[in-house]
Structure 1
């Protein structure tokens, strides 16, 4: 289950920040890292696609762009920051995040992986705080822009920081996670569909409460084009972990269901809340911890555009 219907979860650790001061990051950091590590195969596919875009192809025949500087805006604990550093081995990588606790995790991970010389951190939260960073050949941001009231302005801000030929990649949208069959043998069939509807309502309320909120059609290629970028396009990448789930993935699914129940459980009826309580109870034989039918199927869409 995702946090919202458009796969606006905290993904690999990005996009957590309505207000970083309201979150206990010491508690959340390990959960974000586990979530990002499980999703790494999906994001590795996205990194391969970005290498193709920046390498020049028949589809994007603008020639090779040497990626010397890369930003990960909304880096979280840095799992994807380091993945991008491996994917673009000549790049200086800047992890941008509003939470100093998570930026410390970025530095620790980069040191463990031998990347400390190329990875640095910058504390900031969109739409401000990017002064002094200069420009970049590739800017990646995942599940961050939907936390900004004026998404079009944020896209334009980031697009304006690209070097000629550089690429802005925005990971937003996709499909809600699927983790269980339609009929799970307890409660009324179709729980996930009802959770999707609750997520939709929660997400609409969250967006409406953001400072400087503007209703924006979430046509991300159009937003990229309006910001002056060309060669805009999208690709969707799949994470498919079939049943029965391994331990870390199973724990991840249970944690996400518990988080969903806490975040928008009030939008579900009492019977569905009771089913969620059973699914997240490690002692309940009907819970995720014991179910042979639990799986994880996730799809993440990435939108990209190139600067003139």
Structure 2
């Protein structure tokens, strides 16, 4: 359920160790999102006692699980993923933060297994449904893990990362917009080939309502690291560009391929590791809905 172990890395998401690096960049947004969810779940003086169990579905290396455990100090948090390797990293991360007693891990391979993960007062899932053929069925399964009054929070899409000006002084202006367009085409083709692929209008509040829940709000969170960047985000961008070049291959014309190669040059002042105009700007949208009745 994490990009590393899906059948295809549909939209150029991080691979290998990169989910952890990218999630670290997004940890500030996760803390803000957790604070917002606390407000949705009830009055501040009651929410800590009321939230007893949280599921982080598609947890990867456990960055969100640790943030949720810190935001809900009385809750057990279960990190759920299909990758044993990433779950082991989640356990290590929890131990490093003194959370071993409150964060457990569980493997789940298929969407129909989500319903057997409950009961939970909060289910968080980030960028999971887009990689499953039937997104509506996945939401129904996630919703079935909720206790009455519980909330399902789905982080999907938002805006792809931007990290270069329109004109970077090499190649043709507008490189990043063209890369994004190629990645979107690749994502659409990959989704069409998923097992059980079903086309739906990605109106997430409507999809959540069709899963038997009552929408409780949508918020978009900004991730903003202005230029000049520190080394850690530069390294992440270097890895991202390398992956994009490898995956898009012949889709890029000669000028754009040569431009990306220049950006990957670790010794050149025009490379992403050194250029002073590199930044990191992205946005993540979180859709929420509540189970307001006892299931029959």
- Name the structure 2 match of 1:19: 7
Following TM superposition, by how much is the alpha carbon of 1:100 offset from its aligned partner in structure 2, in angstroms?
0.3
After TM superposition, the score normalised by the length of structure 1 is: 0.88
Distance 2:40 2:3 in 1: 24
- Name the structure 2 match of 1:10: none
Matches within 5 A, 1:247-286: 247-286=231-270
Following TM superposition, by how much is the alpha carbon of 1:128 offset from its aligned partner in structure 2, in angstroms?
3.2
Does the Cα contact within 8 Å between 1:15 and 1:74 map onto a contact in 2? no
1:70 paired with 2:54, answer yes
Residue deviations 1:188-209, cap 9 Å, x none? Answer: 0000111121011011011001
SS in 1 for 2:113: coil
Matches within 5 A, 1:39-58: 39-56=26-43
- Name the structure 2 match of 1:35: 22
The verdict on how the C-alpha distance between 1:131 and 1:47 changes in structure 2, with shifts beyond 3 A counting, is closer
- Name the structure 1 match of 2:11: none
Residue deviations 1:241-277, cap 9 Å, x none? Answer: 0000001011111111111222224322121111111
Selected match of 2:134 from 137, 150, 162: 150
Unaligned runs of 5+ in 1: 1-12, 21-26, 58-62
Of residues 282-291 and 130-139 in structure 1, the stretch that sits farther from structure 2 once superposed is 130-139
After TM superposition, the score normalised by the length of structure 2 is: 0.91
Q: Would you say how many aligned residue pairs link Structure 1 and Structure 2?
A: 285
The Cα RMSD (Å) is 1.9
Does the Cα contact within 8 Å between 2:132 and 2:138 map onto a contact in 1? yes
Following TM superposition, by how much is the alpha carbon of 1:31 offset from its aligned partner in structure 2, in angstroms?
2.2
SS in 2 for 1:293: coil
- Name the structure 2 match of 1:95: 79
Matches within 5 A, 1:140-289: 140-289=124-273
Following TM superposition, by how much is the alpha carbon of 1:45 offset from its aligned partner in structure 2, in angstroms?
1.2
Does the Cα contact within 8 Å between 1:254 and 1:288 map onto a contact in 2? yes
Deviation beyond 4 Å, 4+ runs, structure 1? 13-16
Unaligned runs of 5+ in 2: 9-13
